[in-house]
Chains A and B, each alone.
Chain A
């Protein structure tokens, strides 16, 4: 017998309290002088003796209560051999169904191994079948019939997700606590090294007493080539300037030459040969390929195929479109304000954004829906119908960039967001910048930019500060208004109040923030399996969204269509997504290329993992060498505590009643 938390036994010192109360305090009586004892009799003592017995019973109960309480906290346990445990055994058979299990006949062999395990289950068994990828999915409840187990095994197919052994260990730990049965877990997998948790072996730890058996279907030194990545803009405006780069990688492979084809809408556009070094990578570039208008389904295909042909193709989507227009609104007479902005935006060939300048007075007559986003250059106070018009435009998903200058500061508030502002003529540089934000990608940290004067902005509660001045006040903030975004720059976009347009960071800032507001960065050319697709930005938006999966079926239930914020892209292929704002996008989804690395976990590592569940090593073949496991007694001790507490209450109540009656 031992204690899991022996330091709680220090609580036994508390028994000194009742000892003091009962034996030292209670029976230590101060003699009471009395005139004569002629009316007292010796037999009175028997009554006292009787009550003292009660005292001692009460004392014993109280001591027992404290001792048991200390024991309960100390968590006593007995070491029992696993065989002697009365708990029934639950056999869990987990089959890896990750993308890598598509390799050759891995899945078939895994299912055959599972069937063998089911066949070998002893009489009176309780078993479950589970499938493992990024999480552990129970395919059956606790079954005692082989038929249902085999049916579940037959239904397992390899998917497109990654496998996570850390997730398996976590699920087994939970199962051990909730099942009230001993767990004997079998994992049938290709034992990919990339499935081990990144943050160490700790996540693989199993509960003591869990029997764990590994059944590998991996083949030694399985070579595999794959298209590892493709870089292509999501939108192409000028086919002559189109460019696609594909990376081809090999794992456990010799040097080889492979054919790489660019396929657009199931039509091979170009093919190139690439020499891939042993265990290495090579890049292929396709330039100036023509793309039809609209959304196009693209694919980089690697030939000839190997044993895992699914990763020899890499899907991407690309949209051919005309350049889109941006509306730059400035206050009357200040036409120079848009000069730098327009020049910077149109210098980018890939952005596909053209800037139209107009005076604020013209805004009521303009159709804002023709523009991908609007720029307000130091607007000051807007006329109410203009302000309403712009706000409606943003709420419906439009973008807005506001450059706040002295006019806006005089008005005291930013239009649309109504953030409070004030004027500050303190010259300072830029400070902290969130370089990861898409609006600031490639813009650097505004190095060497001097802002001669600026607007002091007080952001709203929901606003996010993306960049700050050197003194910590906001330089660039983002706020969501309805479905749209508003970026507020606390400086002008021309050179009137800073030298920003003269610095290298100006053009990237204008282009990237423009692409961000235009929503171009929301739709990447390709995403990995398991990524979420955004359906709506606000719960208040109840317009139905729609997702059509790779197999052409509508993926959303009716209730989800009007409520779900995101949709999990769980399968490789093309998804057509229509968000609540009505925007349509074609999303290419590919399997995580970590699954293409079929390198198996070394046997030594597997042995270590296998033994985390028991104090003694378990036979690799699963014969079940007996091991001892701690059997916690705290539940029983706690029950005794409750009983002792009840009896003590009864005795104490009776004693108190007697005392009251006597008084």
Chain B
């Protein structure tokens, strides 16, 4: 996308960073891309009427349309659009490496994304939950669709602080404890871990009929690293320091990060896991729209 076009967009990540309050950000993002795009793939019980279905034994009698029965003497059940009856859980990586970034840190971008996802779930009357983790789980909001859940989730996201290292095992163990029914799990991280380890850790969720989406958040400078001169790089998670040169950054590093992304994408897709790469310089609504378009197309 041309830079000028991006800069004119309201939902530029840098613009979002200027908006206070995750609820407002989430509304802004979601309202921006919704506009009739999203339709829940599952039928459920919702306010918007979709069609009638003939009654069959075992159906809940509360949903029989008695007016139709009076006119036709046949029992029909009313069905509504948007009722998914699913649970959405957002896993937000709060490791130190997520603090990297320029105007918009990866962690901020990830927060906007998490907020947008829970807001979207709220719009669909889905139950939504949240796990914020680094090397341990720092916050856990159990999924529910009760009143006030959205505010709880947004508050949890807003209060999230960066921790130390990343450890996927702990949050996924926690998650497996309460994910007893099918749902959607969104994992937002920079995935500075071996793709094999990541996929191996999150794969069990998929076996229970859960839908798993990996949102890979990276800063553009991590993908296209440029060094003006020899530099002393310090690992934000381990504190380890290492000297590097511009020619290495330009050649080998770029090749390695691209290989890493590709491997993670391939392994995730092979395991039936959705993978979506998000650069922090990309407008969030546009990214989400693209993602959902791809997702709908696949279904």
Contacts and interface: CB of A to CB of B under 8 A. Distances in A.
A178 to B, nearest CB: 54
A7 interface: no
B97 interface: yes
A33 B241 CA distance: 9
B247 A662 contact: yes
A633 B69 CA distance: 121
B246 interface: yes
A27 to B, nearest CB: 9
Nearest to A660: B246
Nearest to B241: A31
A526 B268 CA distance: 123
A33 B120 CA distance: 35
Interface stretch (A43-51, A229-237, A481-489): A43-51
A660 to B, nearest CB: 10
Most chain-B CB neighbours within 10 Å: which of A34, A35, A47?
A35
Given A44-B242, A48-B230, A35 B247 contact: no
A22 to B, nearest CB: 14
B245 A36 contact: no
B276 interface: no
Interface residues of A, number: 23
Contacts of A48: 230, 243-245
A661 B227 CA distance: 12
B31 interface: no
Interface string B54-72: 0000000000000000000
Contacts of B232: 29-32
Nearest to B255: A39
A34 B237 CA distance: 9
Interface residues of B, number: 37
B247 A34 contact: no
Interface string B160-196: 0000000000000000000000000000001010000
A406 to B, nearest CB: 88
B246 A662 contact: yes
A51 B230 CA distance: 9
Contact of A42 (B233, B242, B256): B242
B246 A39 contact: no
B45 interface: no
B234 interface: yes
A41 B190 CA distance: 20
A47 B192 contact: no
A121 B97 CA distance: 93
A36 B243 contact: no
A36 B231 contact: no
A39 B219 CA distance: 15
A37 interface: yes
Contact of B247 (A29, A33, A42, A661): A661
A39 B257 CA distance: 7
Interface in A612-663: 659, 661-663
B241 A659 contact: no
B51 interface: no
A38 interface: yes
Contacts of B240: 37
A421 B98 CA distance: 96
A662 B100 contact: no
A32 B249 CA distance: 13
Contacts of B243: 29, 44-45, 48
A39 B260 contact: yes
Nearest to A55: B230
A40 B260 CA distance: 13
B50 interface: no
Most chain-A CB neighbours within 10 Å: which of B100, B230, B232, B248?
B230
A35 B97 contact: yes
Interface in B221-236: 222, 226-236
B218 to A, nearest CB: 9
Nearest to B250: A662
Contacts of B250: 662
B253 interface: yes
Contacts of A33: 100, 233-234, 236
Contacts of B227: 662
A217 to B, nearest CB: 81
Interface string B252-263: 110011001000
A310 to B, nearest CB: 89
A40 B233 contact: yes
B227 to A, nearest CB: 8
Contacts of B256: 39
Interface in B24-78: none
A41 B231 CA distance: 14
A40 B244 CA distance: 8
Nearest to B194: A38
B190 A35 contact: yes
Given A29-B243, A32-B231, A32-B232, 11 more contacts: A29-B230, A35-B190, A35-B219, A35-B222, A36-B190, A36-B235, A40-B244, A45-B243, A47-B245, A47-B247, A661-B247
Interface of A: 29-42, 44-45, 47-48, 51, 659, 661-663
8 contacts: A31-B233, A35-B222, A37-B240, A40-B242, A51-B245, A659-B229, A661-B247, A662-B246
